[in-house]
Amino acid sequence: MTVREAADPIAHLEAAGRFDRILVGGHWILPLSDKRAPVIDPSTEETVAEIALATADDVDCAAAAARAAFPRWSATPAAERARLLSRVHQLILERAELLAQAISREMGAAIAYARAAQVPFAAEHVRVAAENLASYAFTRMRGTTAIVREPIGVCGLITPWNWPLYQITAKVAPALAAGCTVVLKPSELSPLSALLFAEIVDDAGLPAGVFNLANGTGPEVGEALSCHPGIDMISITGSTRAGVLVSKSAADTVKRVALELGGKSPNVILPDADLERAVGPGVAACFRNVGQSCSAPTRMIVPRERLAEVERIAAATAARFVVGDPRDEATTHGPVSNRAQFERVQHMIGMGIAEGAKLICGGTGRPEGLERGLFARPTIFSEVASGMAIAQEEIFGPVLTIIAYDTIDEAVEIANDTIYGLGAHVQGADMEQVRAVAGRIRCGQVHLNYPAWDPQAPFGGYKRSGNGREFGIEGMEEFLETKSILGYAAA
């Protein structure tokens, strides 16, 4: 039997008794209620497992365990914290196939994509956190004053279903590197990879209580974390609506709140761009992870005189996608991850048609030959006005809107015509002009001519896309307080 054949996350977690338990204070314990939630495979809409759900009382226990562990962990030498994080990184790589299979089952990622992106990118967050920690100066002198960066304390981390492991490591690794202890609430819709990650942290030998896992719903566990007086910081990745609710709940305890929320990212194709190099990769970037990425470039902003050519290339690119069984090695795009999101995507495609946008390909309903499962048709609209709902609202599915412009100033205006400001792309041959346009777009991260992903590049939003930054050194600094010690050195 090969490693791939042996990698059955459902059987593994069932045999280990993980579905019934949460991880608190270094122990896999039964939660304080018998509430459970189904784990649905979106490719079949069948229940593949059930998980136990924590309650607000369980959050109290987890927060207490994290609080008890904080003094020792925050005082642990940086080199030792880095060593343990490197061990976590190593175990993720060793168990990569098990994790990939779990992600494919829980949220429908094509197995090839789970192996190529979901798992290795998640592992990179841990590697980068260990690397940055090893060289980070927690004390810097400014004249005779010492500027000291100290861990903020106990952190509640709330992660989404679309990049389940990736978003977990993007928060957990820098928080632990900073010297914080954590309580993680992953999405109850995609909990398999979180359970496997908790096993990895446990097996890596981190002290009891440093990492705690409480599966549960947003209204129960998310709310309890947000308002808990024993939680010093909340970091959430989710919808803008969820971020608003968490911020309001956290306000009474005046805790720090880091928000990584929605997006409607533009992809500005300048007049001198090579369309063959600009359009196809832009379509692929929009539809990556079935469009379920907050930073997906879902608005392609193109020169009006080249609109017909853009439409031709975009449609040809989408026609090459293979939508189907996520466990099939040939599949490029699996299903939408859950029923609510599937219905949302279908509704927004219907709205685009009703608004009068030109349907280039796709449309409502499942792709031909797929009679069950939450599969959506890769859909491209053209002749979209910036004020249309499909150009303003985050759809979070395989839907691209193409918007034409007449001048570069108008292109920038369209790019900024949104309540969001998370990511953006700019394509062009004249790099001076490309950089100038990038500088005018109001967002937290801009990609020029499809560069390679950089795990050290800070990521976060302007406007209603949130606040704070993840990834790289800035991602770790989100979990640090600043203390000034005057007179630290003799004048």
Residues with active-site annotation: 260, 294
Angstrom distance (rounded) from CA 257 to CA 322: 40
Question: Rg of the Cα trace of the chain?
Answer: 23
Angstrom distance (rounded) from CA 41 to CA 106: 6
Is residue 425 within 8 Å of 267, Cβ to Cβ? Answer: yes
Angstrom distance (rounded) from CA 37 to CA 52: 7
Question: Does an H or E element contain 475, and which?
Answer: helix 472-477
Angstrom distance (rounded) from CA 11 to CA 304: 54
Among 301, 406, 297, 309, residue whose Cα is nearest residue 360 = 309
Q: Which two tokens stand for residue 197?
A: 């990650």
> In 143-285, which ranges are E strands?
145-151, 154-158, 181-185, 211-213, 233-237, 256-260, 266-269
3-state secondary structure at position 423: strand
Among 163, 198, 200, 160, residue whose Cα is nearest residue 182 = 198
Sign of CA dihedral 386, 387, 393, 398: negative
Q: Bridge partners of 46? A: 41
Sign of CA dihedral 253, 62, 467, 343: negative
Which residues have CB under 8 Å from 275's CB, separation 6+? 269, 306, 309, 310, 313
3-state secondary structure at position 402: strand
Is residue 421 within 8 Å of 462, Cβ to Cβ? Answer: yes
Amino acid of residue 331: T
Cβ-based burial of 80 (10 A; exposed 0-12, middle 13-18, buried ≥19): exposed
Parallel/antiparallel/unpaired status of strands 480-485 and 145-151: antiparallel
Is residue 422 within 8 Å of 262, Cβ to Cβ? Answer: yes
